[in-house]
Amino acid sequence: TIGATLIFLFARRIFGPDALDRLGPKASALAEGIRRNAASYLLVLRLVPLFPFFLVNLVPVFVGVRLPIYVSTTAIGILPGTAVFSLAGAGLGDVLAQGGDFDVGSVMTPGILGALIGLALLSLAAIPLKARLLKS
């Protein structure tokens, strides 16, 4: 979390507040949507390992996410991944101790993958819930 926050602050200092303006009007419209639901989007980006971490660290700079939101979602979002990778590492130790060939399937079990997908869906579900709460 500290390293990601330092990258965030450094990038914000280098690129400045007008960084998004240089990317064009479509980027501005996308950024507005992300800003409205920043916590949910950032949690999904942290929980689902589809994008490299350097992109996940820089995108919030360009869309203008506030530092407290960035830090809190980073801290919360990396915990499940850390647990999953720790479990995968423990599974790898078991596979290597048996002397067999390495197989990713033996480490990334359906339970771990299901947990990752469930966490991502849970964080996405917050978007319509937030919209419903704001309407009432």
| Residue 16 CB neighbours (<10 A) | 12
Largest CA distance in the chain: 60
On the question of pLDDT at 97 being above 70, the answer is yes
On the question of pLDDT at 68 being above 90, the answer is yes
Query: Residue 128 to residues 16, 28, 73, 119: CA-CA distances in angstroms?
Result: 31, 22, 18, 16
Alpha carbon distance 99, 26 (integer Å)? 53
pLDDT, position 126: 67
Q: Residue 56: pLDDT band by 50, 70, 90 thresholds? A: confident
Q: What mean pLDDT is predicted for residues 59-74?
A: 90
